[in-house]
Amino acid sequence: QKPQSCAFVIFGVTGDLANRLVIPSLYNLAAAELLPGRFCIIGVARRAMTNEALRESLMRGLHQFATRRVDHKIAHRLLECITSVEADPDDGPSYDRLNEQLQELEAARGTGGNRLFYLATPPDAFAPIVRQLGRLGLLKEDHGAWRRLVIEKPFGTDLASARALNAELLSILNEHQIYRIDHYLGKETVQNILVLRFANGMFEPIWNRHHIDHVQIVVDERLGVGHRGSFYDATGALRDMVPNHLFQLLSLIAMEPPTHFDAHNVRSEKDEVLTAIQTQSEEEALKNSVRGQYTAGKIGDTEISDYRKNPDVRPDSVTETFVALKLSIDNWRWAGVPFYLRTGKALPMKRTEVAIKFREAPFAMFRCTPVEQLAENYLVICIEPNEGITLQFNTKVPGPVIRIDGVQMKFLYKDYFEAEPATGYETLIYDCMIGDNLLFQRADGVEAAWRAVQPFLDAWRKVGTKGLEFYPAGSEGPPGAFELLRRDGRSWRKL
Ligand code: BG6
């Protein structure tokens, strides 16, 4: 299904996000013939650029970041749709000119007044741009034409700023016009969590506190913070990853079955479970969290320097590059089932997974191996790499005497499906154009997520360096993260 005709306005068109992801995704959609019949792209930047210069620079970006060999005919056809426009939200008149140019282009291309504004800009530009667009009435839906806004995390830096941003956006737009991107929802393996749970009859009956002992959500990263030091030092692992990416995984795993597979019902159930995350007191938050910061080390052959030596990081920074949390969900399905979350930089390997640990068999029938020595029963959803699903269980070792050993049954996507390499943004951008909000975050979900992490932010701010653990790059992370589970008689799943 091709989306309706529209104008696609990209703010920050010369930036990293536009070059690395937005344009290559539009290219992949063009190659799949999934762009609208009548279409134009308006590339907005703060400095003036000719159409030719912008097209050439985007073509260079495309060659660098395309996920497949660039077909010149398709690329030219796409880039010819682009018009360069200079506008700065601090300069009102430049937005008046943008408005005129947009209307001229819409008339010339016959796009019917449908508009998608993609803010590929730093987050502090969201509100000023939206204010300008609102002043000119560019976001008002009328005569059947739709107007949509796309923004990408971070949506605020804490609960108060997230509320303020939502209030500002919602004073100009309606919720259904806002598409808040979390790129995790563009991942096939993440979308598949809904299908795994709700298109199969065998998981849902045991998906609860009676059968599940605990859940682990792990997003380990190999890279250090590299050239993103100034952003990262003001942000830290918790804000950067938890209320967004890790909570998307958590909500898909823990939500109740929606009554319909549509944006309203799916998002309501996801947001409901985020609201059920227990709000911890500051004392509990300190007990149930571990903060780490990496020091110099080696990952494979790559030397990683001390986080604090990064030129854009404060030399006495207390920003965490690793965080582990223990959370509880206060509802009937999950009462008493801890959710352990962990994410960090400069760890030995990239590993993104959700591991569901089932309860032990209730009774030791096999005298050769007591229940507690049997392999643990895990269902593991491997998000990245080795995309797939693994089930770990016990099996009899062949032979005349009874011996038991743990084995794994593995489903790997690559064994079943062939997919063109993609950026992960194609579905998201396509959904914005067809008006399906299912894979986007709603204001109440964003706020519920910040509400759940706010006690950790508050408690850490008060204690400063106290409790911050250091771990060498390339190590397993701070020892406290292992203690967090050990004290509950549990451990992180070993590979
Ligand atoms: C981004 C964070 O949102 O997600 C980065 O800002 C992080 O710090 C990245 O590296 C992780 O994404 P992925 O898809 O590589 O797991």
Is 94 near ligand 1, meaning CB less than 6 Å away?
Answer: no
What was the pLDDT predicted at 142?
83
Unique residue bearing structure tokens 């395309």: 66
What strand order describes the sheet that includes 289-295?
Answer: 404-412, 388-396, 378-384, 351-358, 212-220, 339-344, 322-327, 289-295, 468-472
The verdict on the CB of residue 426 being under 6 Å from ligand 1 is no
Read off the pLDDT of residues 241-251 as tens digits, 9 standing for 90 and up: 999 999 999 99
Q: Which ligand 1 atom is at minimum distance from the Cα of 231?
A: 6
Task: Report the pLDDT value the prediction gives residue 365, as an integer from 0 to 100.
Answer: 86
Instruction: Tell the residue nearest (CA) to atom 15 of ligand 1.
Output: 221
Q: Which atom of ligand 1 is nearest to the CA of 232?
A: 8
Task: Kindly give the number of the ligand 1 atom that is closest to the alpha carbon of 225.
Answer: 8
> SS3 of 292, please?
strand
Q: Which residues are annotated as a binding site for NADP(+)?
A: 46, 153
Pocket test for ligand 1, best of 183, 386, 428 (most atoms within 8 A of CB): 183
Q: pLDDT digits over 333-359, tens only?
A: 999 999 999 999 999 999 999 999 999
User: In angstroms, rounded to a whole number, what is the distance separating the alpha carbons of residues 149 and 156?
Assistant: 17
State the Cα–Cα distance between residues 219 and 323, nearest whole angstrom. 10
Cα three-residue angle 152-156-157, rounded to 5 degrees: 120
ipTM value for the complex: 0.99
Q: Which residues are catalytic?
A: 245
Beta bridge partners of 142: 145
Q: Is 269 helix (H, G, I), strand (E, B) or coil?
A: helix
What is the per-residue pLDDT across 234-290, written as a single tens digit (0 to 9) for each? 999 999 999 999 999 999 999 999 999 999 999 999 999 999 999 999 999 999 999
Q: Per-residue pLDDT tens for 37-76?
A: 999 999 999 999 999 999 999 999 999 999 999 999 999 9
Position 495 scores a pLDDT of 87
352 ligand 1 Cβ < 6 A: yes
How far, in Å, is the centroid of ligand 1 from the Cα of 243? 13
| 318-334 exposure pattern, b = at least 16 Cβ within 10 A, e = fewer | bbbbbbbbbbbbeeebb
Give, for all 495 residues of the chain, the pLDDT tens digit: 899 999 999 999 999 999 999 999 999 999 999 999 999 999 999 999 999 999 999 999 999 999 999 999 999 999 999 999 999 999 999 999 999 999 999 999 999 999 999 999 999 999 999 999 999 999 999 888 999 999 999 999 999 999 999 999 999 999 999 999 999 999 999 999 999 999 999 999 999 999 999 999 999 999 999 999 999 999 999 999 999 999 999 999 999 999 999 999 999 999 999 999 999 999 999 999 999 999 999 998 999 999 999 999 999 999 999 999 999 999 999 999 999 999 999 999 999 999 999 999 888 888 888 888 899 999 999 999 999 999 999 999 999 999 999 999 999 999 999 988 899 999 999 999 999 999 999 999 999 999 999 999 999 999 999 999 999 999 999 999 999 999 999 999 998
State whether the beta carbon of 221 lies less than 6 angstroms from ligand 1: yes
Query: Are the C-beta atoms of 149 and 130 separated by less than 8 Å?
Result: yes
* Rounded Cα gap, residues 424 and 197, in angstroms: 22
Residue 211's Cα: distance from chain center in Å? 28
**β-bridge partners, 219:** 343, 352
Query: Which amino acid belongs to residue 99?
Result: N
Provide CB contacts within 8 A for 317, sequence distance 6+.
233, 293, 307, 308
Q: Tell me the per-residue pLDDT of 387-403, one tens digit each, with 9 for 90 and over.
A: 999 999 999 999 999 99
* DSSP state, residue 243: I
426 vs 181: CA distance, rounded Å: 12
Numbered residues of the known binding site for substrate:
183, 187, 221, 240, 345, 350
- Centre of ligand 1 from the C-alpha of residue 346, in Å: 13
Give per-residue burial for 55-82: e unless 16+ CB within 10 Å, then b. Answer: bebbbebbeebbeeeeeeeebeebbebb
Residues 354-365: b if buried by 16+ CB within 10 A, e if exposed: bbbbbeeeeeee
CA dist 415 → 32, 113, 173, 410, 411 (Å):
23, 44, 44, 10, 8
The CB of 152 under 6 Å from ligand 1? The reply is: no
Cα 426 from Cα 222, distance rounded (Å): 25
Quote the pLDDT of residue 265.
98
- Atom nearest to 187 CA in ligand 1: 14
CB of residue 189 inside a 6 A radius of ligand 1: no
Q: Report the percentage of the chain scoring pLDDT > 90.
A: 94
Pocket lining: 321 vs ligand 1, CB cutoff 6 Å: no
Alpha helices per DSSP H over 81-218 = 92-109, 126-135, 159-170, 188-198
Q: How far is the CA of 345 from the centre of ligand 1 (A)?
A: 10
Query: Of 438, 115, 478, 430, which is closest to residue 291 (Cα–Cα)?
Result: 478
Structure tokens at 147: 């107007």
Task: Say whether 183 sits in a helix, a strand or coil.
Answer: helix
Q: How far apart are CA 213 and CA 332, in angstroms?
A: 14
Ligand 1 centroid from CA 219, angstroms? 9
For residue 368, the model assigns a pLDDT of 82
Distance 9 CA to ligand 1 centre (A): 25
Distance CA 235, CA 84 (A): 33
Give the SS3 label for residue 416: helix
Range list of H helices, 187-293? 188-198, 229-233, 236-241, 247-254, 263-275, 282-287
Cα(165)–Cα(158) distance, rounded to whole angstroms? 11
Q: At a CB cut-off of 8 Å and minimum separation 6, what does 193 contact?
A: 249, 252, 253, 354, 381
